[in-house]
Each structure stands twice: as structure tokens, then as C-alpha cells.
């Protein structure tokens, strides 16, 4: 068994080396030694020489990371996206506001408990922070025998009335031989009490190349997860007002946009949608997704490569470079034919 794993690992290394060496031979002029080799003449891009497993590769990239809370600029060896915490201020004294680029934007963590705050309600008394929310209340502070009026923020001697509907007094007179009788209908008063703030929901659809079974991660004021149904629909319900980040996750797929940021949830949101796109893979680009070749290599990956740390590193390297190589093959038929010829030979070794 040990010899079999060693042979399988050797074949995997052989595949990766051949693939990268073919790429290098065909596109040697895109490789670099120093940063000045990579200047593309475009002032909007940051140009640098990035060291990789197969040599230096020129990177020409716009440094804008589309994250509002970062300061983006070009440094000597690449883009820097520096967190800018002040841009994350949400005005909530019960949170400490921080910019985390690696998490996709602003996050608001709980401020110390018992810090003074104001939830906008008068009748529940003095407010204090509790686990990041203004929800600790001293209770009705009106003196005994008075009524708290939320509309006027006062303590009244009579019960508050939010809305009143009154009918006119009607009088009817009936006359008979004996005499007359007068009846009066009293006024009708209707009182409506304003409800306390409730909870909200977030929902949306994923469309594109995959819709069902995609994990949707909710983080921020509270953390939850959901999974899309057969129509790509997902939903989070009974959420308190606050900050939220919604991120879809599925191996082998990218999503547009990569996440949704909700700075302050104060109403139901119904259109938090995403579009899924399958990440390109060299083998699936060359053969049909359900072909024998793809199935053979998937079996080899799952049963052999994933069993060793070295194999997992090779898998990581392969998937990291696949989109780049696929993009080149898409534009260069000759290079694509060379790659296919090489992989055909490797498939023969694996199938033996």
C-alpha cells in the first residue's frame, strides 16, 4: 500500500511539473526577475514581480479591493489595503466598530456591558448596553399613580391615548299618548397602542451555474447559517436590528457579489441575491464534466492525493493555478493541444 501511494504521489508531481513547465516554455516572456520588468504603462494598476513555484510572474492589478473601509494603495511589492476603522462608525454606543478586510468589511463587536445608551423609548426607563445591544432597561420611572406617555415622553395623570375615534351623540325621541321618551347613544372611543419594535428577515436567491445546496453564512450582530433550496432560495428570520454580513460558500464556485453588507437592519430585506459561477479547472475545461477522464482523475484525487499532506498541497497548487492556465488555453489553441496531449499520457499511467 505504501508503494502504491508513493507511485501515485510521483505521478501527481509529474503532472504538475509537466503542466507548469509547458506553461513556462510557451509563455516565458511573461516571467520576470524584478518589479521594473512588469511595468505595463497603465497608471491605474500596481505592477510587481511575484515569486511563485515556477518563477516570477508579472502582476498588474488595480488595488481597489471594493471594500469601503480600507485605504487602498500600491506599495513596492504589491497592493496594500489598510483598515480604516473610522469609516465603520455606526453611531451605536453599544458596539466597537472595526474594519476587517479579510472578513469583507466592517464588523461591530460588543462594547462593555452597562455602558449608557438610548433605545429611543421613554417608558422603559434608563437604558444600558447588554452584549452589544441597547436592551438593558431600568423599567418605568413614572411615579406611582401616573401613566407613562410614550408619545409625549411624559408622566400623565390619565392613560395615554394614541388615536381616538369618536361618534357624535345621537338622540332619538319617541312620542306616545302617555308622553315622550328620549334616548341617547354614548360616544364610541377606540384606542390604539403602538407596538414595540420587532424583528426582521433577510432573504434572497442564488442564480447561475449552481443554485441548490449552497451554504449561506450570516455574521455580525448574530451568527447563523442556511442552505439554498432547489430554487436557490434562502432566508434568515427573526433578526434583531443591527449590522450583518451575508456570504455564500461552495467549493469550486465563486459568487457575484462575493458578499452583502447590511450596515443597519431596520426592515425586511428581500433581494439579497447572488450569481454563482463554476471556477475553471484544467481537466474539466478539456474534457466533458461527466467524462471518463474527469471521473478517473476525481477518483485518483479523492482516494490517493487527499490521503497525504503532500498530495493535499499538490491539489491546492493545481486549483490555485487552474484558472490562469484555463484562461491561456482559451486564447491559444496550440497550447491547449499541447496540454491535452500531455494529460492523455498521464491518464494512461493512472489507468494502468
Q: Mind listing the pLDDT tens digit for each residue in 216-237?
A: 999 888 889 999 999 999 999 9
Query: For residue 285, is it within any domain?
Result: yes
Strand partners, 78: 75
Mean pLDDT, residues 167-188? 45
CB atoms within 10 A of CB 204: 21
Checking if the pLDDT of 187 tops 70, the result is: no
First to last CA, the chain: 16
Are residues 351 and 293 part of one domain? yes
In this prediction, residue 123 carries a pLDDT of 85
The stretch 283-311 carries a mean pLDDT of 80
Least confident of 49-53, 328-332, 337-341: 49-53
Burial class (CB in 10 A: 0-12, 13-18, 19+), 119: middle
**Are 273 and 204 contained in the same domain?**
yes
Q: 237 lies in a domain?
A: yes
User: What per-residue confidence (pLDDT) applies to 174?
Assistant: 44
pTM above 0.75, yes or no: no
The crossing angle, in degrees rounded to 10, of helices 333-351 and 2-26 is 170
- Do 267 and 292 touch, CB atoms closer than 8 A? no
Share of the chain above pLDDT 90, in %: 10
Residues 286 and 254 in one domain: no
Task: Tell me if 246 is assigned to some domain.
Answer: yes
Judge whether residue 126 has pLDDT over 70. yes
Q: Which of 253, 278, 303 is a domain's end point? A: 278
Whether residues 207 and 250 fall in one domain? yes
- Higher pLDDT residue, 25 or 240? 240
**pLDDT surpassing 70 at residue 193:** no
- Average pLDDT of the chain to the nearest whole number: 75
What mean pLDDT do residues 182-198 have? Answer: 44
State whether 258 and 207 are in the same domain.
yes
Task: For residue 86, give every residue at least 6 positions away whose Cβ sits within 8 Å of its Cβ, in sequence order, or none.
Answer: none
Task: Please check whether residue 154 lies inside any domain of the structure.
Answer: no
Sign for the pseudo-dihedral over CA of 190, 194, 198, 201? positive
pLDDT: is 256 or 160 the higher one? 256
Q: How confident is the model at residue 61 (pLDDT cuts 50, 70, 90)?
A: confident
Looking at residue 176, its pLDDT comes to 42
- Asked which of 216, 243, 278 is the last residue of a domain, the reply is 278
β-pair type (127-130, 116-117): antiparallel
Q: Which domain holds residue 293?
A: 280-352
Residue 140 lies inside a defined structural domain of this protein? no
Where do the DSSP E strands lie in 101-199?
105-110, 116-117, 127-130, 133-137, 147-149, 154-156, 170-175, 180-185
pLDDT of res. 196: 36
Of 213, 246, 278, which residue sits at a domain end?
A: 278
- 185 inside domain: no
Question: How far apart, in whole angstroms, are the C-alpha atoms of residue 342 and residue 18?
Answer: 8
Residue 221 belongs to domain with CATH number:
2.60.40.10
Among residues 342, 232, 351, the alpha carbon closest in space to that of 292 is found at 351
Q: Residue 3 falls within a domain, yes or no? A: no
Inform me whether the pLDDT recorded for 239 exceeds 50.
Answer: yes
Q: Rounded to whole angstroms, how far apart are CA atoms 61 and 44?
A: 8
Q: How many domains does the chain have?
A: 2
Do 236 and 274 fall into the same domain?
yes
Nearest Cα residue to 206 out of 178, 235, 240, 180: 235
Q: Which of 7-11, 20-24, 227-231, 297-301 comes out lowest in average pLDDT?
A: 7-11
Q: Is residue 310 part of a domain?
A: yes
pLDDT at 10: 54
Amino acid at each position: 500500500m505504501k508503494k502504491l501511494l508513493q507511485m501515485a504521489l510521483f505521478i501527481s508531481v509529474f503532472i504538475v511539473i509537466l503542466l507548469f513547465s509547458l506553461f513556462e516554455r510557451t509563455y516565458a516572456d511573461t516571467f520576470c526577475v524584478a518589479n521594473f520588468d512588469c511595468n505595463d504603462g497603465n497608471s491605474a494598476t500596481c505592477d510587481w514581480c511575484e515569486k511563485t513555484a515556477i518563477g516570477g510572474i508579472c502582476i498588474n492589478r488595480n488595488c481597489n479591493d471594493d471594500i469601503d473601509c480600507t485605504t487602498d494603495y500600491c506599495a513596492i511589492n504589491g497592493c496594500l489595503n489598510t483598515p480604516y476603522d473610522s469609516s465603520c462608525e455606526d453611531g451605536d454606543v453599544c458596539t466597537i466598530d472595526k474594519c476587517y478586510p479579510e472578513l469583507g468589511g466592517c464588523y461591530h463587536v460588543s462594547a462593555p456591558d452597562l455602558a449608557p445608551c438610548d433605545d429611543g423609548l421613554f417608558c422603559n426607563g434608563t437604558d444600558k448596553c447588554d452584549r452589544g445591544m441597547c436592551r438593558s432597561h431600568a423599567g418605568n420611572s413614572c411615579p406611582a399613580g401616573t401613566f407613562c406617555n410614550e408619545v409625549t415622553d411624559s408622566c400623565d395623570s390619565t392613560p395615554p391615548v394614541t388615536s381616538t375615534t369618536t361618534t357624535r351623540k345621537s338622540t332619538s325621541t319617541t312620542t306616545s299618548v302617555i308622553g315622550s321618551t328620549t334616548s341617547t347613544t354614548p360616544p364610541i372611543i377606540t384606542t390604539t397602542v403602538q407596538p414595540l419594535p420587532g424583528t426582521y428577515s433577510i432573504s434572497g436567491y442564488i442564480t447561475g451555474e449552481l443554485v441548490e445546496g449552497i451554504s449561506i453564512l450570516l455574521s455580525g450582530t448574530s451568527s447563523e447559517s442556511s442552505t439554498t433550496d432547489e430554487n436557490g432560495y434562502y432566508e434568515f428570520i427573526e433578526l434583531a436590528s443591527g449590522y450583518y454580513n451575508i456570504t455564500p460558500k461552495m467549493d469550486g464556485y465563486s459568487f457575484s457579489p462575493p458578499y452583502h453588507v447590511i450596515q443597519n437592519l431596520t426592515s425586511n430585506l428581500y433581494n439579497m441575491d447572488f450569481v454563482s459561477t463554476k471556477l475553471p479547472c484544467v481537466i474539466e475545461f478539456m474534457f466533458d464534466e461527466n467524462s471518463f477522464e474527469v471521473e478517473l482523475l476525481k477518483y485518483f484525487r479523492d482516494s490517493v492525493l487527499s490521503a497525504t499532506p503532500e498530495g493535499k498541497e499538490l491539489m491546492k497548487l493545481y486549483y490555485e493555478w487552474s484558472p490562469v492556465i484555463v484562461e491561456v488555453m482559451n486564447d491559444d489553441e496550440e497550447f491547449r493541444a499541447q496540454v491535452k496531449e500531455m494529460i492523455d499520457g498521464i491518464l494512461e499511467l493512472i489507468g494502468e
